[in-house]
Amino acid sequence: MINEHLDVVIIGGGPAGLNAALILGRARKNVVVIDEGRPRNAVTRKTHGFLTRDGISPSEFREIAKKEISAYPSVFFVADTVVSVAGTDGHFQITTALGNTFTCKKLLLAIGMRDLPLDIPGLTDVYGKSAFVCPYCDGWELRDEPLVIINKGEGLMHFAPVISGWTNRLTVCTNGPDGLTEDQREELQLHQVPIFDSPIQYIDSKDGIVRQVVLEDGTKIPCRGIFFKPDLAIGSDLPQAIGCNVGEFGTVEIDSFGKTSIPGVYSAGDAASRMHQAIAAASMGSLAAAVINNELNLEAWRKTDEQEWMKR
């Protein structure tokens, strides 16, 4: 089955790729999901905010998803990394790091985003345990606690008011020049949010739980959690290699149906959105899968029409 000309290859087996696989399996399409297994949320213990799965571990989420999808016999999983894509709509050729090759009619890029290396000493130790990137994912667990926000400039002026909905015990560390206007500094002071500009020397923690943020000027800021914005890159350079338009935030440009600028290539999940949440990624995967399926069915329908006309 796997050596056939497949209907769809899905690159990436996170919530976006898995939900797409579920929909396409139920639509009786021959699908291979190729996943190298490096999801961005691997650092975290629990996924929150996914209805019926609130608090589930990322690995258990994937296991349950695969078990559910295994009910549909036309979907296969391959643990591998896609290294190249050639061809055009209807005839894509996919090559993997282990030397596997697949051909397919349509391609779904559900490759997620990845964090660039964290440059603050000690931050890796607490990331996903008491330092987080999204208050909707992890704000509830840190409600009313003293928190440090590491951010600067416009990003900070968005982040601080949002996080203030979970706690009013906020301190800002800009980790160097803050990029704030006088008005923005005044705004933070008005909301009793202290701002420290000194570079961060290190994050002091025990067993992944932050105890204090230590600045180069000697200041120590005790806290129970951190919110920060890491620099991100798209999960793979395949979109650029294929020629897909990529937007200013590094995500694949798609229309409201998940179509990229390249015919036959779709994208879903974090890789194509600035809203990084598992349920949002799953929803995008579901939509893209339905659109892909509609297109495949329509193409097959029209081909039959043409053949019938030729016979007459």
Residues that bind ligand FAD (CB under 6 A): 11-17, 34-41, 43-44, 47-50, 81-82, 110-112, 128, 132-134, 137-138, 235-236, 238, 269-271, 276-279, 281
Query: What is the residue type of 87?
Result: G
**Closer residue to ligand FAD (CB): 152 or 276:** 276
Residues 6+ positions from 42 with CB-CB distance below 8 Å: 58
Instruction: Give me the helix-helix angle, 182-190 and 153-163, nearest 10°.
Output: 10
**Closer residue to ligand FAD (CB): 96 or 193:** 96
**Closer residue to ligand FAD (CB): 76 or 132:** 132
Length of the chain: 312
**Closer residue to ligand FAD (CB): 48 or 152:** 48
- Least distance to ligand FAD, CB of residue 111, Å: 4
- Least distance to ligand FAD, CB of residue 71, Å: 20
**Closer residue to ligand FAD (CB): 235 or 264:** 235
Residues 6+ positions from 54 with CB-CB distance below 8 Å: 48
CA distances to 120, 172, 180, 282, 300 from 176, rounded to whole Å, are 12, 11, 11, 37, 59
**Closer residue to ligand FAD (CB): 195 or 271:** 271
- Least distance to ligand FAD, CB of residue 187, Å: 28
- Least distance to ligand FAD, CB of residue 57, Å: 10
- Please state the φ and ψ torsions of residue 244, each to the nearest 5 degrees: -70, 140
Q: DSSP readout, 112-179?
A: -EEEPPP-STTHHHHBTTTEES-HHHHTGGGTTS-EEEE--HHHHHHHHHHHTTT-S-EEEE-SS---
- Least distance to ligand FAD, CB of residue 225, Å: 12
- Least distance to ligand FAD, CB of residue 136, Å: 7
